[in-house]
Every structure is written in structure tokens, then in C-alpha cells.
Amino acid sequence: MRCCNPLLYVWAYTHFFAKNHMGKFPDPLRSFPRIPSSRKYAMVWKAKMEGCTENTFTWMCPWFRPSHVLVRCGQFSNLPLMGLRGCIAYSPKLVLRQLGRTQTLPNQEDFDDIFFLYTSGQQSQVDTIREAWKRPLYFGDSELGKPQVTASDDYQKWRNQGEATNMTKMVDQNEQHRIDPLIKKIEILETQI
């Protein structure tokens, strides 16, 4: 999860506080430092998150318009991603709307999970994954339909049923009073370094 935090920060900041810069830079990650910004505290982020609706977000990156989507490789029902310390599954079918397509109801196989940390006992799994990447499967308009950033009715119904059970607790306003002094201490320590 550590590797995802910087990407999540860039995504959230550009969507919430720098919408006028969306799509202006050909390489948003390298251009991100050029976006004028000020420090955002927990209460500002909380207010932005609480005010979110489905229409708050631009589902598709303006600089990314794929004609074909890599959906699986080899015998795997998803994409096994190999990193420095292990392997984890990624299923593009779960994020079709972000790829400019109609988000459909996921199948159970879309949730099939591969996750392991590298040990000497996983060499055969690593070899299987390497071989699978030699056989990628792409879907285009014939399998996914014409590009359209939306969600099917079945998906909307499934998503709404799951929302009530998957709600997360946001930071309470009372907790913010405890956080602010800590942030000030950190800022003081940063200036002393």
C-alpha cells in the first residue's frame, strides 16, 4: 500500500483542488510539482470527501484514451502484477469506467486473488506468471462496446447494495482538535531540521 499513497495523493489533489490543470500537462505525474498548492489540513480533506458525489469525479484521465484494454493474461482471470517483494492480482474489469468504458457487474472470477510475497517456495508460481504474460488478452469495442464513461443498471444496483455495509468512519471534528497541535509540532520540527 505504501507505493500507492503518492499516486492517490496526486489523484485526489488534482481532482479536488486543481481541476483547472487537468489534461493540460502531457505527463501529470512529472508535472504535478508545477501545480501551485498550499498545505491542506485534515478538516479540508474531510469536507471535500464528505461533499463527494458520483459527479464529483472525472472517471477517465483526459490524457489516456485506450482503444483496447488489457484484461487478463494466460490462464489467469486477471493480471498478476509482479513487484519487488511479491505478486498481487489486478482486475481491469473492475475499473472499466476509468478506462472509458461502461462499468458492468463484476463476475466472481474478477475477484480471484493472487497475492504472495517472494520466498524460495514460490519460484514455480513466478515462472507460471512470467509465462502467462507472454499471452496477453486485450478487449476492444467488440467485447466492451463503444467507449462510454458510464455504469450499467446492474452495476449501479450492486454498488448501492454494498454501500451500506462498506461505509468507513471519517475523522470526527472533535478529533481534529487533537490533530492540529500535532501538525503544528511537526511544522516546527521541520523548520529546525
Query: Of 99, 29, 36, which is closest to residue 64 (Cα–Cα)?
Result: 99
DSSP H or E run through 186: helix 173-192
Residue 20 has pLDDT above 80, yes or no: no
**What mean pLDDT is predicted for residues 3-25?**
70
Q: What is the residue extent of each domain of the chain?
A: 60-192
**What mean pLDDT is predicted for residues 49-78?**
81
Residue 167 has pLDDT above 90, yes or no: no
Calpha distance 38→53 (Å, rounded): 24
Calpha distance 126→124 (Å, rounded): 5
Grouping H, G, I as helix, E, B as strand and the rest as coil, residue 94 is helix
**What mean pLDDT is predicted for residues 140-160?**
87
**What mean pLDDT is predicted for residues 156-172?**
60
What pLDDT is stored for residue 164 in this prediction? 36
Residue with the three cell numbers 488489457: 70
Burial of 71 (0-12, 13-18, 19+ CB in 10 A): buried
What pLDDT is stored for residue 1 in this prediction? 47
Residue 166 has pLDDT above 60, yes or no: no
pLDDT in tens, 102-112: 888 888 777 77
Calpha distance 100→64 (Å, rounded): 9
Any residues with CB less than 8 A from the CB of 94 and at least 6 apart, and which?
Answer: 106, 110
